[in-house]
Structure formats: C-alpha cells, structure tokens
Structure 1
C-alpha cells in the first residue's frame, strides 16, 4: 500500500510541475480567437525575424554537432584502441570543459577573440597578420559555435567511447581477416555498431546547442530561437508567439529523445557473440605516441582556452590592446564577497540549491527504490518520466512555469524562489535517480530481505541497511545535483526577474553588461563556480568511478 502511495505521489509531482506547464504551453500555442488555430505556427515561418532565428538555430545545432563528432570519434578511437603513457591523465583532462558553463567562458573569449583581442594582437606582433581578423564572424555566430563545441565535445566523447568499448573485437577481427582495410572496416563494422551511442551523444549535443540561452546572450547573437523566447517572456500575456516557439523546441527535443531511446534499446545493433572477448589495446610505441600526444594536447589546450581567458580576466587590473594583462590584481575576488549583487546572489543560490538537492535526494531515492526493488505496475512509465527532464531544455520548462503559474501564488514575478527550487529539482533529479539506481543494482536485496524476516520494518531496513550500503552513490548524486543547480543558467535567467532574487548565474549575466568592473567581477564569480563544479565532479567520480559517464547519457 505504501509503495502505491509513493508511486502516486511521484506521478503527481511530475503531472503538476512537469506535464502541466508543458501542456499549458502546448494548448496556448493552438488557441486563437476563442478556438483552435495554427496561425501562430504559420506566422512563425512567415515573419522574417522568426524565420531567420529558426534557420540560424538549426544551422548552429548542426554545425556544433558535426564539429563535436569530428573531434569525439577520433578521440574515442584513440582512447579505446591504443595504449600509451599518460593515457589516464589525458583522458581526464579532456573532460575539463565540463566544469565551466559555456556562457561563463564566453566572457573571457570575447577578450581573446575580439578585433583587438589577445589572438589578433599576438598574430600581428609575430607578423602572421597585418590586419585584425573578426574571429567572431561579425554577428558572434562563430564565437557561439566555438564555445558550444569546446563545452560539449566531452559529452559526445563519453557516449562514443562507451559505445566503442561495448563492441565485440572479434567482429572487427573477422572483417580484417576478410581483407577489409581500416577505412572500410570502420564504415561497415565499427561505425554501424556504435550508432546507438553516437546518436545518443549527437542528440544531446544538438539539443543543448539549439536551446542554449546564456552563450548567445553573452556574444549578443540574438537571432536564435532561445533568445527570441527569452525576449518574449516579458510580454507573455500580449504576444503568444512565444508559445509556438516553445512548442517547436519541445517537439524537436522530445522527438530526438524518443528516437535516441529507440536506437539505444533496439535489437538491430546487438552483437551475437556467445561471450564477448575483452579488447587487447595496441601499444602505440614512440612513433605512434607522438602524433597522439600532439592531437590530444592540441585539443586539450584549445579546450582550456576559455578557462584561461576567464582566469586572466578575473585577475586583470588593466587589459587593453595587450596580449596579456598589463597589470594584475586579486581585488575582484574580494569584491565577489562584498558587492551587494554578488553577495545576495551567492546567498540565494546556496539556499535554492540546498533545498532542491534535499528534494532531489528524497524523490530520487524513492524512484530508484521503486525501479530496482519493486515489481509495481508502471515501472517503465516511471522510468521514462524520470529521464524526460534530460530531454526537455530548461528554457522550455522555465517558460512553461512563467506562463502557467502567472497570477497565482507561484507567480515568479512576485517571488521566483518556489519555482526556482522546483525547476532545479526537476532538472537534476535524473542524476540522483541514476546514481541511486546504480547503488541498488550493486547491492544484494538479500540483506534487506534478511532484515525484514527478522521483524524490521521497511523504513528501518532502508535506514539501517540499504542507505549505508548505497551512501556513496547518494552522495555522488547529491553533490552533482547541488553543483549543477548552483550554475543553472536558463531557469535562473528567465524566472528571476527582480535583482533581490537573482541566483549566481543571473548575477553574472547582469554584471557582464555593466561597464567598469562588471565583467571582471563576473569572471571572478565564474572561476569560483568552476572550482565548485570541478570539486563536485572529483568527489562524484571518487564515489562512483566508471559509472560517472552514465549520468550524462540520455
């Protein structure tokens, strides 16, 4: 009975705070003049600005996905196929871009890639350029592409490397024995077998690039769907076009999520070997290791440029028309803890993230227990509900909250804290569920059965037996949920409308637009946020090890 009540409460939470806002937006997008109409969708493709924004968003998503694929596939092949010194260290360094939100890195990259930024000044100083080059492409498109690629290629790499590791090497050996060269072997055997993992990574990258709000705002590249949706939040009652744009994004992301799940769960790519043989990594040797080091080192160096640029910006006393800062100072780190806006935003984010993490752990444990330890009807539905927040962008959910809860007690215009807590909880609950579920899978149910056979209640058994056994997984999921909530971008920027309620990321965005010391304080806050996320990832990796990558797959 208690299990059924828990199941009902979880479904109710998802119904009210996930499906209701999305359903409200969907309904409003087809409502015009008192009846059903698709006029907003027609206008969406006839209005020049909206049509250009949609086109640019698709071009951006496709461009970022193709470039990340071109990076991730060679990286995955090298890491999974060859043995060389420093492989573990280099593999870890390739995940560094994950510790900084791309919109934070965009602050420093503007300094490096502007017409008279560090890159142009260095190239002109060495005589390689006579005139400065507009690396950002005038509109900022290539700046957004660069930041998205550098931030997202580790996600593609994780999915690709996992897919490659699951391929039975005997199948590739059979292809080579039949005379296939390396190129033909990859095209006809390796790539088809890794398609599920590749498509999962590509879907995640495309959705993220298509729906990212923070990075285009920093580069002032406004002709994109997320920026148009953000601009329409302020007049959501008068301009219903925002509903149609949100539905467009929602349909696209859910479709990709569904197709990706079908690929991952399909039988068309299953390997029929009776027992999979572990792969013997080929020793690269000195001659083979040199190009590997050059390639991996180049990718890592370019990927940490945003981190370096933000760090340099945060310690710059003066940085104008010079390759590096002419003077350095640490005063902006002190201002982070004295500036009224930053102090209140840090306090707000700590409060919001702490509450949402507690809710994530409570709900996540209940869901993971139901999935791993019970045979209740609807487990498949619950599992799908739990993973859906990974597919629905924060931009869509935040817009739905503003639209559906305006005028009520949860109106974010009055106080966004309740909806920010709910949004953070819903967005990060998949991480806690996956971490806890992995713990349940690794723990035998026999211990719990023995406890209950001796007269212990289910709650006592969970508190004294199960929870201690999966505590490492709980801590890992909670740490990730907390750190990602601290640095959540879309929900914070859209829902926090008054300065007194700004979380950290909204404060950073606001400071970037202020003259004088604004960008420098924002960079200092970005570095502190990066340090928080880095420590969180290290702690989580310490607790759950190789299963860490599973948390970032859809």
Structure 2
C-alpha cells in the first residue's frame, strides 16, 4: 500500500520543486555570488572608419596593444568586424571586490559595524522585554492574561516600514512623544530629542524592537511551556528558592528558545531595509545595497555586500543549529506534560500586568500613528490632531500610483499563492506520508527560504532580471538556448513572493496532515481509488481549513512584502503596494499622510487576514512552524 501511494508522485513532485528552487532561489543567489567573485570581460568598440587599412584587425589590435590572434581567441564565438563590441580582456575570478570592502579606509566597515550594532541592540532589547513576558505567560495566571497575550502580537499585522512612516510624525522634534517627554520634565523644551536627525539610529532601534519582539516572545513562551514539570518539582523538593529554580532550571532549559528567537530577531534587524529608508539612515548595509541595486550601471560593490550579508546570515544560521543541537544533546527535551500555571497575586501580579500594559501600549504606537496620520487634517505642536479628515484616505484610493500598487499586489500575491498552495500541498504530503530521506529533504528545501533574507534574494533577482533583459552574459540562458528576452518584472516578483512564502502553506498543510489518519487514504486505495484521487477526494477536504489558513497567510504577507517590492519594481506601472506607499511617502507636502492612509488600508487587510487564518487553524495556530 505504501509503495502504491508513494510511487511516481514524490519523484515528480521533487523534480518540480527542484526546478522551482533552482529558478527561484539558487539562481538568484548564484547570480549575486558570481558577480561578487568574477570580474566581467572588458569590451572595446571597433569603430568603423571606412578605410580598409584603419579598419583591419591588425590595426585594431595594434591600437589595443595586443595581437590579432589573441582577439580571435577571445572572440571565437563572435564575428569580428568593424562596428561591433569586441572582448579585449576575458572574465576572471577574483576576491578583490569582497576583500576591498575590508580595506582600512573603506566606508563599508562603518556600514557593516552599524548594521551589526543595530542588530545586537535590537536583539538585546527584545530579549529584555520578551523574557519576563513569556515567563509570566507560560508559568502563571493573572487577570486579563488571554487578552494581553493576543495584544502582544499586534506588531505582526503591520510591516515595520509602514509603522516607521507613521512614527516619523510621532518622533518629530515637536511631535507627540517629545511633547509628552517635555511635560514629564525629561526633555528640555528648547532642545528636544532629534529622533529623525542626530538620533535617527535610536529611532530605527525603537521601530525594529517594537516590530520584532513577538518573534522572540513566541519562541520563549513555547520553550518555557515545554519544560518538563518534574524537573521543576525536583528542584523545589531539594529546597531551591524560586530564583534558584529559575536560574538553574528554567533559564538553561529555555535557552534554545532564546537562541532560536534571538537569531530571527538579529537577522530581521540586520537586513531590515524599510525602516532605515524611512528614517533616512544611510549608514547601514541594507540601505547601501538598495542604493547600489538602483544604480544605472552595474557596481561590483553591490554583489560583494550581498555576499557579506549572506555569509553573516549563514554563519549565524549554522551557529544556531549547532547551539540548538548541543542543548538538545545535553537534555533540553520537553516533557510529556506541561507544568500547570500557578496564580500570580499581590505585587507580582501588579508588576506583570504593568509590564504587559506598557509593552502593549508601545506596540500599539505604530498602528495608532498610522491611523492618526492617515486621518489627521491638522496636527502641529500637539499630542493629538487638532482636526480630522478623510481627504488623505480618498487620495490614497484614487491616486494612480496607489491604485496601480493595489491592483498589482493583488495580482502578484494571487499568482504566488496559487504556486505556494499547489507545491505546499504536495510537499506536505511527501513530508508526512512518505517520510524517510525524501521527506527530510523536502522538509529542508521548503523551510530553507526562512533562512534567506528578502534583501539578499531581491538583489539576486536584480542580476537575474538583467540577464533576462540583456541575455548576452547569462550562462543559464545560453544553456536554455535563449539569446535575449524581456520578461516583465511582475514575473520575478511572483516568483520571489512564492519562494519566500512557501513555508507558510507547507507548514500549515503539514500540521493538518499530522492530525489526519492515514487509514482513510488506505481505505480509499483498497476500494480502487487512485492515489491522487484519494488525496483529492479524501485528504484535501479533511485539511481544507489548514490549506485555507496557509493560503491566507501566504497571500497577506506576499501582499505586503517589502524588500523584493522596493528593490525590483522601478516603474510606477509595476509598483506593488509597499513600493507605492514608499513612493507616496516621498511626495512633498502631505506625502507621509497619504502614505499613512494607504498603510491604513494595508493594516486593515492584514488584520482581517490574520483573524481569518486564526479562525481556520484554531488551536493549531502555534503548530505551524514547530520542530
């Protein structure tokens, strides 16, 4: 029965997935790496003069300081004649572009150190905030716990750069935050904090920390909840105080969650593009890569910077895997049952509720700023807008760039979601039903996009797009027999979105299949149903809620993808929603308010999408990305 159900299907699916990842993931990464490590061939124009002596190959070779034989050797596949570009220096592999970034006087040192410093500070701040919250949520009960647990996750429904647009007004020199600090006597009214100028680094830290802390909070909550209660009981029976139990048992056993969540926060802050762009903080590596990607001529510094970012992220990924394996081997295994939460009373309850309320209020600040910024008619030198209007919202709905962005994103996200659902269903079935080495390989391939930052993938697509548009320098296109073509940028955006969001649909379907009995498929096969017919008529309807939830998540996050949208789309007609928001933000006058109004629409859509996904998944929400 197992052989019958897993015959041709997995092999064909693996072939389709291999082509998908070859074109969507490995080719862009290889393109960036090749451009970082290879000096392109040098070409010279063989100008035609009309004089046989001057246009001879011997005369052209003498002008270049070489020989006719060498020119013929370098251009063996080309017709040598006046009026053409001729290769006079072959391509060669080199480390000069990468090593040049680390020259003593190179500005790239400053960019890299700023990005690393930003990521470290954001990670430390998120850990300091998330750990006590996760500990209280996992170990105790207190009034309002369920409501506050949900509100702690509100940063997930808004892209950080959209929140940054709203917070710019809040963080202005005479904006609401500075006015509140002045009223509290913490800031000199004549010299308010310049979050958008001198202290823009601090502004980036605040926005990133408010957006990324849920990633660490969720991992820590799961890690603390899964600690074997018998270990805690043994420690208490040995006379350990609550502080000793925490320091000697809870903290060491929750470290895997701290490492896993911390690595996600670190990579997110290190490669965040939208927030530094909004705060005009140029001295970070992500912003420099964005600038280089938009230069009219190829600059080898761009691929070299991408190679460095990739190396940092992969090194962190490998260190994280190594650390987690070490903790797993040393006994950091979850128990068969969870410890029953204990009631928190008195001062402890007041402190826990107070910290929850403070973090929730700060977490809601970007959403509130987007809401007020999009609806404010006049908001000057006051904590609250003096008057409100819907003009900015109407402008966001009728502006041609905004309308094109909404239309394009709906199409791009729909195309990528169809790809993700089809591949995710098949991959999940092979992972759960087939298992073995093929299931493990499929699981690794489908989860791999989570380890590749969108910034790195987007820059790789710039090189791939150039290869498709120019065609001449592409080894892949020559292998495929394509000399030159000009595919629309939307094709690359759909492919990029699909690669980035495939883990969402795959893990959602895996969670459903793990709770669906295999015996139903076996019974259908015993009655003569073909394998794929049994899957279509039996399995898929049973996991329809999981498929729908994964599709909703993939669609919603693709709709608001930032890095690929900002880097790949350069024509207003091709802009996705997030690029339209950034374009409107740069408009003189009311740009930030119109952008906030459009961001308000995105906020509403993402909220509805997450509510719908949660309704479909129910309690299985937390099982999507486990293990």
Name the TM-score, length of structure 1 as normaliser: 0.95
Cα shift at 1:245: 0.8
CA offsets 1:321-378 (integer angstroms, 9 cap, x no match): 2222111101222222211111111001111111111111011111111111114643
Q: Extract structure 1 runs of 4+ deviating beyond 6 A.
A: 410-414
Q: Is the 8 A contact 1:513 1:519 kept in 2?
A: yes
Distance 2:389 2:92 in 1: 62
Unaligned runs of 5+ in 1: none
Question: What is the deviation of 1:135?
Answer: 3.8
1:44–1:51 contact (8 Å) kept in structure 2: yes
**Range 222-231 or range 251-260, more displaced:** 251-260
- Structure 2: how far apart are the matches of 1:83 and 1:295? 15
Residue 201 to residue 35, structure 1, CA distance change in 2 (3 Å): same
- Written as runs of structure 1 = structure 2, the 5 A alignment for 1:10-29 is 10-29=17-36
Per the alignment, residue 138 of structure 2 pairs with: 80
Give the secondary structure class of the aligned counterpart of 1:317: strand
- Equivalent residue of 2:329, what SS? coil
Q: Greater CA deviation, 438-447 or 164-173? A: 164-173
For 2:522 and 2:611, locate their aligned partners in 1 and report how far apart those are by CA, in whole Å.
Answer: 34
Give 1:162's match in structure 2, choosing from 199, 215, 222. 222
* Structure 2 residue 368 is the aligned partner of structure 1 residue 361: no
Contact 1:413-1:497 at 8 Å conserved across structures: no
1:115 aligns with 2:173: yes
2:567 maps to 1:494: yes
Deviation readout 1:254-285 (Å, 9 max, x if unpaired): 23223334444553243579x63431211112
- DSSP-derived class of the 2:377 partner: strand
User: 1:42 aligns to what?
Assistant: 99
Alpha-carbon separation, structure 2, partners of 1:133 and 1:52: 24
Is residue 187 of structure 2 the alignment partner of residue 180 of structure 1?
Answer: no
Question: Given the superposition, is the C-alpha separation of residues 262 and 410 from structure 1 closer, same or farther in structure 2, using an over 3 Å criterion?
Answer: farther
Q: 2:353 aligns with which of 279, 282, 293?
A: 293
Out of 279, 287, 290, which is 1:230 matched to? 290
Judge conservation of contact 1:11–1:382 (CA < 8 Å) in 2.
no
The answer for unaligned runs of 5 or more in structure 2 is: 1-7, 41-90, 472-484
Candidates 379, 383, 387, aligned match of 2:443? 383
Provide the secondary structure at the position in 2 that maps to 1:442. coil
Would you say 1:341 and 2:401 are equivalent positions? yes
The structure whose Rg is larger is 2
What is the count of residue pairs matched by the alignment? 553
Alignment RMSD: 2.1
2:494 is matched with: 421
Do the aligned partners of 2:263 and 2:320 also contact (CA within 8 Å) in 1?
yes
SS in structure 2 at match of 1:244: helix
Q: Is the 8 A contact 2:216 2:265 kept in 1?
A: yes
Q: Deviations over 1:414-454 (max 9, x none)?
A: 62100000000000000100000111101011001100110
Find out whether 1:143 has 2:208 as its counterpart: no
Post-superposition offset of 1:96: 0.6
Residue pair 2:226, 2:338 contacting (<8 A) in 1 also: no
Q: Report the secondary structure of 1:408's partner residue.
A: helix
Q: Does 1:392 align with 2:399?
A: no
> 1:236–1:242: 8 Å Cα contact kept in structure 2?
no
Aligned match for 1:485, one of 558, 571, 579: 558
Q: 1:314 to 1:541 in 2, by over 3 A?
A: same
CA displacement at 1:129 relative to structure 2: 3.7
1:80-107 Cα shifts (integer Å, max 9, x gaps): 1111121111100000111111111111
Counterpart among 80, 95, 104 of residue 153 in structure 2: 95
Shift of 1:286: 4.4
1:144-194 Cα shifts (integer Å, max 9, x gaps): 110110001111000000001110122122223333333333332212211
Match of 2:125 in 1: 67
TM score, norm. by length of structure 2:
0.84
SS in 2 for 1:222: coil
Higher relative contact order, chain-length normalized (CA < 8 Å, sep 6+): 1
Q: Distance in 2 between matches of 1:44 and 1:447?
A: 59
- In 1, Cα distance between the equivalents of 2:578 and 2:510? 30
Contact kept? 2:100, 2:106, Cα under 8 Å: no
CA contact (8 A) 1:10 1:363 kept: yes
Q: CA deviation at 1:532?
A: 1.1
1:322 to 2:382 alignment: yes
User: Which string of whole-angstrom CA distances, capped at 9 and with x for unpartnered residues, describes residues 97-146 of structure 1?
Assistant: 11111111111211111111112223435655432222456151111110
